Amino acid sequence: MRTVFIVLMILLALAVAVVAVLNNEIVTVNYLFGQVELTLFAVIVGSTLAGVLIMVFFGIYRSIHNYVKSDSERNLKKELQDRIKSLESEKKKLEEEVEKLQKERENAAARARDELEAEKNKLENELNRQKKEREDAEAKEQAESEAEKEKLKEELRKLQKESSSLEAQDDTVSPPKKSFWDFFKR
């Protein structure tokens, strides 16, 4: 791109030089403080040099402006890079803190799970103990009721034996029963 620009500048300079050489007439140039008579060649070359000089000053101004702008951009870029580094370090610290909090949360959850498991086991043991006590009490009551039942059966047998032996004695000793008509017979 730069070489194309240089070639175009050389061609333009040659074109101006050819036009200036072809115009050798004398002309009057009026300016702010007076007037002057010059050849048309000098006016064309002078105008071209004035244009080139203006463009050179404009280019210098633009270069300085770009340098200042790029300097401020470099400073801004450096400041942004520093800010990025500080934000990355802050991000890293926050990620470490989040990781630490997650580990604490996991540990707390594990402790809570262990405590709940221990409480569950304790309650299951208590429930089993109470169930066993209830079963033992029921077995004891059943054994006592069985013993009471056997005792009552035994007493019933004794009473039945006694009553059968009393009936047998009553049959031998008992006076004859009198009927309603026997009363009138007397």
In the chain, the number of structural domains is: 1
Range(s) of the domain holding residue 32: 10-90
Q: What is the mean pLDDT of residues 154-165?
A: 86
Instruction: For residue 113, tell me if it sits in a domain.
Output: no
User: Which residues lie across from 28 on neighbouring strands?
Assistant: 37
Residue 79, domain member (yes or no): yes
Rg (CA), the chain: 66
The answer as to whether 37 is a domain residue is yes
The residue type found at 53 is: L
Name the more confident of 31 and 108: 108
- Position 127 scores a pLDDT of 94
Q: pLDDT tens across 41-93, in order?
A: 888 888 888 998 999 999 999 999 888 888 888 888 999 999 999 999 999 99
- Which tens digit of pLDDT belongs to each residue from 160-180? 888 887 777 766 655 556 666
Whether residue 2 lies inside any domain: the answer is no
**136 within domain boundaries:** no
| Residue at 105 is within a domain | no
**Does residue 47 fall inside a structural domain?**
yes
CA distance 24 to 180: 192
Q: Which amino acid is at 16?
A: V
Q: Are 162 and 170 within 8 A, CB to CB?
A: no
pLDDT tens digits, 86-112: 999 999 999 999 999 999 999 999 999
pLDDT of residue 186: 54
Q: Is 172 inside a domain boundary?
A: no
Confidence of residue 18 (pLDDT cuts 50, 70, 90): confident
Q: What is the reported pTM?
A: 0.40
Encode the chain in three state secondary structure.
CHHHHHHHHHHHHHHHHHHHHHCCCEEEEEECCEEEEEEHHHHHHHHHHHHHHHHHHHHHHHHHHHHHHHHHHHHHHHHHHHHHHHHHHHHHHHHHHHHHHHHHHHHHHHHHHHHHHHHHHHHHHHHHHHHHHHHHHHHHHHHHHHHHHHHHHHHHHHHHHHHHHHHHHHHHHCCCCCCHHHHHHC
